[in-house]
Structure 1
């Protein structure tokens, strides 16, 4: 297709086929939205609102607040999808730099909540976590760097990527927020792996990480060490640090195959379950809809991941493939970690269930990521390979 036809297509004009007959573009192509992925996301968010209504003690104010946040996030996703990968490639270094500066500001003047200093607040305007934006900025920065390198990456390129990843991860871990720091690191490491890292280097990195575990343990905060010990044996402190995981597994187990029914969960409605509308919302779902409902939820997530991977595979340039692949695989990691920690197979790290748990910044960040994914698919021929 000639360049003129490509530009006309991007602007929404009809594109003529080889026979001279104009091809009418659908509304989804004009707004750069994938209808299948968008539909799955809307179903997931709608299901999340139903669960939040139950988990919050049937508090409509909480549901309305989350609905407004979803609306803002959907508008942000639509706007971002109109931007081209060239825009993201050009402005990613600035976004990364601003993000790092905001993390430094959190360390100096950030708000403290629940024992951690993770928020920046503009009085009367907004209160947000800069670490959330780094879930996108860090992997995109790594992808932008590798886009200009010869692939597969050499050891020197790996060292540069390690510096790009290490600075924001260290600042987030110092807040302290070990869970988010690990997720940011995971998202960026996925980019490096997708770039074709050799198995020899992967093995070397694994050895280095394993050798650094004792040092990591010594630098963990006391509550972080306690979380790991509680994961190994929650019964050692059933009324203290083990309370969360004991109550969540009890709630999931009591749901059985078909659950107790919507709004009928005892662990959640009687407030035995902590953080029931945020990090532990899966336990509410498991108690009320049982194994069948959990399987349906997991299947819905798998459909979203599968569609996202297909869109990522359609990209015809390195930057697009790396960013799109990282976004959807990181989304999968969020789901796996949250369900794993609530069901007792992973330590509790404070990761919300994507687009189901109550929260504003995380919802906006996730849908911004999907907007970038749809933009990369819609403009997949703009960047050179």
Structure 2
């Protein structure tokens, strides 16, 4: 769980509330109060989840109605006993007596996870907005060549859209934040990830990139986390895996939307606990890596469809960066083409030829569905 949440238990001593306090204590900060003092406690300390007991004069339903008005962000759970006051609250969870303790625990855990993840996402959105404001203020500081082209760790651009991307990359140079890069195939997601690494404090350690969509599912966990000898057919030797080899550095997971459910669980463990388990091993290993992910898919849509874990999405989507397709930044086509042509000429030991006006017009009129990668290979 990304951080500890808080639960407010409202009602006189009861086995159900004692069960919540005892079982969920390791996962959340627990406070117990009476209905009459509950609003004061809620105003002072706040809460992610409020559990109130009704019936026998407990006033739980009345308290939750007040909570909905004064603290609408809290998840509200009512333990409704016979003789209690009805609660007309479509957003509340109502558990009738006799309360199933296992069910109560499950509801509280789910509510905590959702509340904590939402708070983390909200705080991160605020931080991202702050960083963007910093980037906008410093946008004019980018250094241009005589043709108005900005160069940043191999990224060449004249367009305003990519200049903003470069500025976002600059704002996180001194941080170790997790980054999610979204863009069509061929827009340069790995190049952007490498630029982040090269400007970070991890630049002296390894940058390791892997395309999850290019590795068959049975081999993905072995490729990333390693395996022990005999873990599967063909595993004649133990292998450390990409995360172990890049310890202290950066791992770029391209096409992370293709990760299987099992791999998603393993990636979540790396992000939350900093540990990996090689295939076939019975012990975990600690690793210290920065994770940058790339995708050309809509991960939010995958979350809604239930094929991508919501908690993993929140962990990866800490600082999102979108790379615009080449067709939306036509002013970059000519300088990129000139750069690739000069590279090819250098490789062949020749002087770079110029690009005619007709060729330039044709290049800028092309649709470039394969983006920068297609342009490089023309």
How does the TM-score come out when normalised to structure 1? 0.23
Higher strand share: 2
Higher relative contact order (CA 8 A, sep 6+): 1
Higher helix share: 1
How does the TM-score come out when normalised to structure 2? 0.24
